[in-house]
Amino acid sequence: MNIVVLMKQVPDLVEELEVDAGGTLLDRAWLRFITSEYDDHALEQALLLKEQHGGTVRVLALDMGEADEMLFTALAKGADSAVKLSGDFATGIDSHSAAGIYRHALEGASFDLILTGVQAIDDLDGPAGAMLATHLGLPYIGVVSGIDVDTANGEAHVRKEYPGGLLAEFTVDLPAVIGIQAAMQPPRYVPISRIRQTMKTASIDETAAQGERIAGAISVERMYKPERAGSATMLEGSADSIAERLLDILTEHGIGR
């Protein structure tokens, strides 16, 4: 079972986000990066599968944010190798271009499964994993929260989440790309000492990112913060008029139908 995991760094929402002077990008001066939550789950799922079936886990990431820290942490958790694709990603990268780079890096490689987060908080043009599957001509299923691999038949049984607590089960021929919503166990904790040790003993393979950037397909004209006051909008009046207002608000948000 050889698994490739695509991981990426996204802005950490713990810090206030600000828009830069150009008005279309986040202000990088205040940004701090964190591993995309779903990618952490993808890694965990890969490690679980490795524990079950043997094989290797190889992590791929673009050189953005704290990519080194993320990759060393993945190695400390049990990944076998880590590849950092370097390039100029100072202002981020769209998913279409990222998918192109991954395609280049993976063409000709041998693997049984590619796992990645189903989405990320900054995927304006959609999840790169789904696009990569198209590039590689592999099947793709996203929003998956459970995988069992049948190595004998070269297939995986995956469970995809639907609204209302429903799960749909699919059988997918391998190799395939899976967009992970949640691993079958919460991502494991890895002690600091192990990460520090890994930084001393293991290494990250670094190669230049290749594949043309598909830019400009969407042009961002404006980025701004939603009006969301620090404190609540207070509703006043009689119980019935408040109820009516609440009903409108819920309807506006598509709730309660």
Partner 1 sequence: MHANILVIAEHLKGRLSGIVFEMLGKAHALATETGGGVEVLLMGHGVRALAEELGLASRVLLCDHPALAAYTPQACLDVAEQVIARRAPDLVLIASSSMGLDIAAPLSVRLGVPHVSSCRDLRITAGRAIVTSQMYGGKMLVESHLDLRGAIVSVLPGAFPEDAGRIAREAVIEALPVEGLDAPHMRFTRLIEQSGTDIDITQTPVLIAVGRGIQNRENIAMVEELAAIAQGAVCASRPVVDQGWLPMTRQIGRSGMIVKPKLYMALGISGAPEHVEGMKDAELIVAVNTDAQAPIFGIAHYGVVADIADVVPALTEALRNAHAPA
Partner 2 sequence: MDLTAAPFLGIPEYALLWALSAVCIGLFALRIAFFVRILRLAKPESRLHHIGKRLRMVMTDVLVQPRFFDRTSAVHAIVWPVHLVIFWGFVCYAVTFGWSLVKGLVPGLPIPWPEEIPIVATLVDLFGGIVLVALAIAAFRRYALRPRGVKRTVDAGIILVLIALVMLTSLAGAAAGIAGRGEATPEAWLPFAGMLAGLFTPSGAPALQHAFWWSHMGIVLGFLAYLPYSKHFHLLASPFGVFLGQTDAIGKMRADDSAEVEGRFDLRDFTWRELLTPLACAECGRCDRACPSYNSGEALSPQDLVHGLKEHVLAAGPLLLRANGGAAALRPAMNGAFPPDAVWACATCASCMEHCPVRNEHLPLITRARRRLVSHGAVDAHLRDTLTAFARYGNSFGQSERARAKWTQGLPFRLKDARKEPVDVLWFVGDYASYDVRVQNITRAVATLFDRAGLDVGILYDAERNAGNDARRIGEEGMFEMLAEKNVAALSHCTYNRIVTTDPHSYNTLRNEYPDYGLSAPVVHHTELLLDLVRGGALRVSPLSIRATYHDPCYLGRYNGVYDAPRALLRAVGVELAEMPRNRRDGYCCGAGGGRIWMEDRPGSGERPAESRVREAVALGDVTVLVSACPKDIVMFQDALKTTGNEGALAVRDVAELVLQAAAAFAPAAQEV
Binding site for partner 2 (CB under 8 A): 12, 14-15, 32, 34, 77, 186, 188-197
Beta strand pairing call for 9-11 and 56-62: unpaired
Beta strand pairing call for 166-173 and 155-162: antiparallel
DSSP 163: G
Specify the amino acid at residue 108.
Answer: G
Tokens 């948000």 found at: 253
Q: Between residues 219 and 231, which has the closer beta carbon with respect to partner 2?
A: 231
Q: Which does 195 bind (CB under 5 to 8 A by kind): partner 1, partner 2, none?
A: partner 2
Quick check: 114 binds partner 1 (CB under 8 A)? no
Q: Between residues 162 and 189, which has the closer beta carbon with respect to partner 2?
A: 189
Q: Which does 140 bind (CB under 5 to 8 A by kind): partner 1, partner 2, none?
A: partner 1
Tell me if the bond preceding 163 is cis, omega within 30° of 0: no
Q: Quick one: which of 53, 96, 194, 213 contacts partner 1 (CB under 8 A)?
A: 96
Q: Which does 29 bind (CB under 5 to 8 A by kind): partner 1, partner 2, none?
A: none
Q: Between residues 201 and 231, which has the closer beta carbon with respect to partner 1?
A: 231
Segment 175 to 204, residues that bind partner 1, using CB under 8 A? 176, 179
Rg (CA), the chain: 21
What CA–CA distance (Å, rounded) separates 93 from 88?
9
Angle at 26 between CA 216 and CA 22, to 5 degrees: 65
Tokens 């393979």 found at: 205
Segment 136 to 155, residues that bind partner 1, using CB under 8 A? 138-143
Closest by CA position to 196, among listed 19, 68, 56, 97:
68
The CB-of-141 to partner 1 minimum distance in angstroms stands at 5
Spatial neighbors of 165 by CB under 8 A, at least 6 apart, are none
Q: Between residues 34 and 149, which has the closer beta carbon with respect to partner 2?
A: 34
Q: Pattern 32-71, binding to partner 1, x per CB under 8 A? A: ----------------------------------------
Which CA distances in Å does 116 have to 84, 86, 88? 15, 19, 22
Which range binds partner 1 by CB under 8 A, 53-61, 68-76, 81-89, 130-138? 130-138
Q: Between residues 134 and 185, which has the closer beta carbon with respect to partner 2?
A: 185
Closest by CA position to 140, among listed 109, 98, 170, 163:
170
The CB-of-200 to partner 1 minimum distance in angstroms stands at 34
The CB-of-2 to partner 2 minimum distance in angstroms stands at 23
Q: Between residues 193 and 219, which has the closer beta carbon with respect to partner 2?
A: 193
